[in-house]
Chains A and B, each alone.
Chain A
Amino acid sequence: MTITEKILASHAKRARVVPGEIVHASIDLVSAHEVTTPPAIAMLEQLGIRDVFDPQRIVVTPDHFVPNKDIPSAELAKRLRNWARETGIKNYYELGRHGICHALLPEQGHVLPGMIVVGADSHSCTSGALGAFATGIGSTDLAAVLATGELWFKVPASFKVRFEGKLPGGVFSKDLALELIRRIGVDGASYQALEFTGSTLSELSVDARLTITNMAVEAGAKSGIMAVDAKTADYIRARTAQPFETLFSDADAGYIREEVIDVSQLEPLVALPPLPSQGRPARELSEVTIDQAYIGSCTNGRLEDLRIAANVLKGRKIASGVRALVVPATSTVWKQAMDEKLFDIFYNAGCVISTSTCGACLGAFMGVLAENEVCISSTNRNFAGRMGHPKSHIYLASPATVAASALTGRISDPRDFLQ
């Protein structure tokens, strides 16, 4: 069996599962935010269910529209907060300790290898970098999980992705994700579990790995998973004393497909609007001028991402006419970046630094685009209108490429700015 099949089998109290079969599995960890949870709360109220299956297994943070962007979003956040209090959920992260849920869950030590993690948000697959089966669900499924602690799954076939070789300078884990999606397409792994392996992976930090699993859903995947190694174990032990089980795919595990990516041949990539699969080398896009550069999100708003961006921006100035936004993914990342004096670098370059929020990534607030504006962004989706006006344009890239482009005002190869 693959790691994914082993996790689903153990949570369904089965010796073995095969792709395609339906299992009812127990859920170890649920994440809840203010957009998709209130509808689930309303459903539970309709059913007369006031309690959740296990308050210890639920992590709540407002992240999409916080700090509250308007009265309706304030009402959503209030509903989430009151519900967490009434149901006895202790892991509630209030503004000031909040973060984008997909960055917060691993960072705060809630995710352990071998868990099943669900969240009513498509990027819930992010937690798979720690060896968990993690997937996104809707509000009705969330209501079902909150009430019962269980959910049905169709066991996904596993698709193995091997990243092999040494990363060239200027190429980061975001580029690996964009290259994979460029090759297989935005539905290339539909209904499947992407299992990431290969020699390159062991060289990547956990921060960098989370970027890759985060983007699994952009290839249509149900989940993205990585086996635990020493780096994962260190990362988790630094955050929690909880014991965990380490699972590996068997030598004879079945895969529906295998894709090998020789990373030594890659260069910095940029995905053209309106699909993450439209990757092209950054150096070929220098005719594209930009209005906004965005560094942040559940994809690339962790400390390592901010360090990489700061390394490009240090001692330099953002091009005239460009707005550069830095949005640390969590309050902890914000504090660490401040302590490391990264904010000085960002401020001196001309960036604005915001509190953690999903805000601009989904066109809600804090960086919305006007008609015909162009944004280069370290986020995960470049769909038409995603960040604002239906006729605005989003180019996806690594934090290094975003930072380099902010400096020149046009899409730029970060290798020109990295030592």
Chain B
Amino acid sequence: MKKTCAAMVGTARVLAQHHINTDNIIPARYLTHAEKQALTPYLMETLDPSFLNRVQPGDFLVAGRNFGCGSSREHAIWALQGAGIAAVIAESFARIFFRNALNNGFPAIECPRITDRVREGDRLEIDLRRGQIHNLSRQEHFDFQPFSEFTLRLLEAGGLLAYVLARR
């Protein structure tokens, strides 16, 4: 579960829309299961059926404002993680999704105007500790509010549960 927060490098998969909701991410009819492998085949099914085919493990999902709004279903995070998505970078997040993400050790990065700055397939380097994104494909840098020490520890542990287990 351990991962380094120093630098993550991956490819951007862009869904340049605002208000992508958790019904989009994983429709409720699939919530009879909570295992990642049961959820992931339906990831973004209603929004972009080709999305899953584009995603490779380690990719970053890039989206607009209010990502993850709607239902509190943590299954949305699990479906994204199951596809191997390493982080979501959005212009803003709905609060329950944001909390769920950190609880699962899943970086949810708020970065203004990110959908203007990144194109599908761009290679990105994210430094969570310093709060920087380096668009390697375009040689551009932009900043985001760095995570707190506690949040970084949560992310490094792999989420709240893993964090608590590791401290026992």
Contact = CB atoms under 8 A, between A and B. Distances in A.
Nearest to B93: A190
A296 interface: no
Interface in A34-54: 35-36, 38-39, 42-43, 46-47
Interface in B36-67: 45-47, 65-66
A275 B164 CA distance: 38
A190 B66 contact: yes
B79 to A, nearest CB: 13
A136 B96 CA distance: 7
B15 interface: no
Given A120-B72, A190-B94, A220-B69, A383 B28 contact: no
Given A39-B34, A47-B164, A363 B27 contact: yes
Interface string A3-21: 0000000000000000000
Contact of B71 (A38, A72, A73, A362): A362
B28 A362 contact: yes
A222 B95 CA distance: 7
A390 interface: yes
Interface stretch (B17-25, B128-136, B138-146): B17-25
B6 interface: no
Interface stretch (A140-148, A235-243, A299-307, A308-316): A140-148
Contact of B74 (A36, A124, A222, A385): A36
B74 A139 contact: yes
B31 A35 contact: yes
A137 B99 contact: yes
B66 A220 contact: yes
Interface in A94-138: 120-122, 124, 136-138
Of A73, A124, A140, A144, the most chain B CB neighbours within 10 A belong to A140
Contacts of B74: 36, 39, 138-140
Contacts of B28: 35, 64, 362-364, 386
A176 interface: no
B94 A143 contact: no
Contacts of B1: none
Query: A interface, how many residues as a size bin?
Result: 35 or more
B70 interface: yes
B70 A381 contact: yes
Nearest to A35: B31
Contact of A121 (B72, B92, B164, B168): B72
A76 interface: yes
A384 interface: yes
Interface in B147-168: 159-161, 164-165, 168
Given A122-B70, A137-B96, A140-B159, A383 B24 contact: yes
A138 B97 CA distance: 8
B72 A383 contact: no
A191 interface: yes
B92 A140 contact: no
Contacts of A137: 72, 96, 99
B69 A186 contact: yes
B69 A140 contact: no
Contacts of B27: 363, 385
A231 B34 CA distance: 41
B100 interface: yes
Nearest to A44: B161
A258 interface: no
B32 A65 contact: yes
A138 B103 contact: yes
A72 B39 CA distance: 13
Contact of A138 (B24, B31, B66, B100): B100
User: Which interface residue of A43, A76, A120, A187 has the most chain B CB atoms within 10 A?
Assistant: A187
A234 interface: no
Contacts of B29: 363-364
A70 interface: yes
Given A38-B34, A381-B21, 9 more contacts: A46-B165, A64-B31, A65-B32, A121-B71, A138-B72, A138-B103, A140-B100, A220-B94, A386-B28
21 contacts: A35-B28, A39-B34, A39-B75, A43-B161, A70-B32, A122-B70, A122-B71, A122-B72, A138-B74, A138-B96, A138-B99, A187-B66, A190-B95, A222-B95, A275-B19, A363-B23, A364-B31, A381-B21, A381-B70, A383-B23, A390-B46
Query: Which 8 pairs show the lowest CB-CB distances between chains A and B?
Result: A72-B32, A138-B100, A385-B46, A140-B103, A362-B28, A390-B46, A187-B66, A138-B74
